[in-house]
Amino acid sequence: MPKRFKNILFIKVIFCYCLILLSFEAIAVVNKSTDPNTIPLIPRNVLFSNPARVNPVLSPDGKYLAFLAPVKGVLNIWVADSHDLASAKPLTQEKKRNIREYFWALNQKFILYFQDTDGDEDFHLYRVDLNSGQEKDLTPFLKTRAELIKTSMIFPDEILIGLNNRNSKWHDVYRLNITSGKLKLIETNDRFIDYVADEKLNLRIARRPADDNTQEYFFKDKNDKWQFYARVRFEDILSSGFIGFNRAGTIAYQVDSQDRNFAAIYAIDFSNKQKTLIAEDPKTDITSTLFHPFELTLQGYATEYLKPSWSVLDKRIQTDFAYLRAANYGDFEITDRTLVDDKWLVRYYSDTKPSRYYLYERDPKTNTPKSLSFLFTTFPQYINQPFVPMQPVIIKSRDGLNLVGYLSLPKNSLAKTKSMVLFVHGGPWDRDSWGLSRIHQWLANRGYAVLSVNYRGSTPGFGKLFINAGNKEWGGKMHTDLIDAVNWAIKQKIADPQKIAIMGGSYGGYATLVGLTFTPDVFNCGVSIVGPSNLFTLIKTIPEYWKPDLAIFRQRVGDIDSEEGRKFLATRSPLTYAARIKKPLLILHGEHDPRVKKAESEQIVARMQHAHIPVTYVLYHDEGHGFVREPNMISSMAIIEQFLAENLGGRAEPIGRDFQGANFSIMAGKNFIRGLSK
């Protein structure tokens, strides 16, 4: 299964992800039609409802297929015969919050999934019996976050997990028997931020933060003792790390940017510690990998600069990739494979069509194709909608950096308004990518050009020099990159300088607040979703299990432990300049957000109210860092849509029944957006 490096390298400190399942897209050729009524208004409940089916996973033997699909409006796990989707039945009965992460137990008796409470991110690990449907919480501990470390083909009844129930800062390692539920402590941990284990469930590699802001890797010796192996410089932390062992446990695979700009893949022979280069690209990072499901050897890799591109290393799957490309269904990725490698799940995707999943069957002995069968479309309601394409663009920053962005333009005469939304990704150690974006399609359909740009600090794909160009540039050059993108759009006559909004979540919410305070005349209005306003309180209140990684904030954002650092953070905090705000601002937050506490929004709202500056603040009571529940998603977009229409003049669907089932309160400014006062 492909592994995105951004999901394994410092995922603890990525601020954005869970946020609204947003991807970003762009483009466009403007048609010459003059009647906007010929472009139907796509309903919000079509755009932002849950997918019909999504995230399929094959059972290890390929007999069954599991996927997520709604049960009374909530995503649950369903199971079907892999050759008969009509046989699908729901296995779980989650009634409130979508299930998002799940996997097959290798003993094929259970499916395991993670779930938190109202967005608090204290994830518990649940087991569901395939025969009886009985569920069991395998980690029933208060204020504890369970993390998966390793599953094993050799020990299909056992997995390694991390639990921080002893010390909230550190995850101890347990061996969990998923059948009996018995937990066995393997390692009490007070120094390592993550581990890599082999197929025998032996801990082999561990990573530790050092006092000098570097990170140290340790290998276990034959006496089961941790021995220092290597130190990784701070500038390489976000683009280096170990991703696993081969089945025999003799070779470890590492993504590494040390002594180079773009991350490459290496193999380390544990018999002699010899390091061998396996794959590299001279122009971009390697961002995803494809491993043999049984041998666990590297077979292919992907790079992503403007768009993802796959390369094959293992000759045994060259014919397969050629066959899948020849099907001509669009760009694709391999999302799952059986242990004997006779069945693959293939996702085809584009910027204007919903993802389509196929079951690909092959002969693993001869490595020859047999068949490619359509399974399902994720959002069938998207078919034949008036979606627009997404165009990758490269924008020069004022100091010469190439900023990869994605532009979506509204169709026909809707584009004549020249209104634009700058949609800023979160993280900030994440990136915008090409593909079908609900946000881009929604805004373009309402008459706005939509521009998303990978400002400095974004990753992966742009190299470590680009990442580190963002160090301590929150509200600095990371913001001027966004301003440079706005000026580019104005120069290209895409946007009217008087009709530009800024919007985003997490870091994108922070960027919105920066936009309205640092550059109060650039944007017409702003929408901040779970955005921090005070960098000192943001860092001071990060989750306990992030604190071992505090160096990343100290070096990349600012140091809360020194007077000089605190003064610097104040200069980069929108709260400091709240009195400068003179354009309409809409703020949305989740009450249980563990990453960016709701106080981040409350502080700036209070400061604005004290200065008699209008602001609308909406608090969702059963959400965290982003909105997961379907009614909350739809209602939040309804509020944002009315706000943008009032300030940019775009189209808006009436709110209607879009608040039904949502759980929010308008804490301030309900009279500033039409329809809210009702």
CB 651 within 8 A of CB 41: yes
Q: Report how far apart, in Å, the C-alpha atoms of 623 and of each of 116, 511, 619 are.
A: 10, 21, 9
Residue position matching structure tokens 């399902």: 376
From the DSSP assignment, how many helices (H) and strands (E) are in the chain? 11, 37
For residue 627, CA distances in Å to 44, 440, 441, 630 come to: 15, 17, 19, 8
Element containing residue 485 per DSSP (H, E): helix 477-491
**Three-class SS of residue 352?**
coil
* Count of CB atoms situated within 10 Å of the CB of 677: 9
Residue 593 annotated as catalytic = yes
Q: What are phi and psi of 402, to 5 degrees?
A: -90, 120
Coil, helix or strand at residue 514: helix
In the set 281, 288, 625, 636, the catalytic residue is: 625
**Alpha carbon distance 232, 214 (integer Å):** 6
Measured between alpha carbons, how far is 300 from 318 in angstroms, rounded to an integer? 10
Angle, in degrees to the nearest 10, between helices 477-491 and 507-518: 70
Active-site annotation holder among 281, 432, 481, 593: 593
- Distance between CA atoms of 571 and 478, rounded to whole angstroms? 14
Buried-state track 95-129, b at ≥16 Cβ within 10 A, e below 16: eebbbbebbbbbeebbbbbbbbebbbbbbbbbbbe
By residue count, the chain amounts to 678
Contact 567, 541 (CB under 8 A): no
Residue 440 a catalytic site member: no
Of 152, 288, 506, 533, the catalytic one is: 506
Q: Is 506 a catalytic residue?
A: yes
- In sequence order, what are the beta bridge partners of 69? 76
Torsion of CA 161, 165, 171, 172, to 10 degrees: -70
Catalytic residues: 506, 593, 625
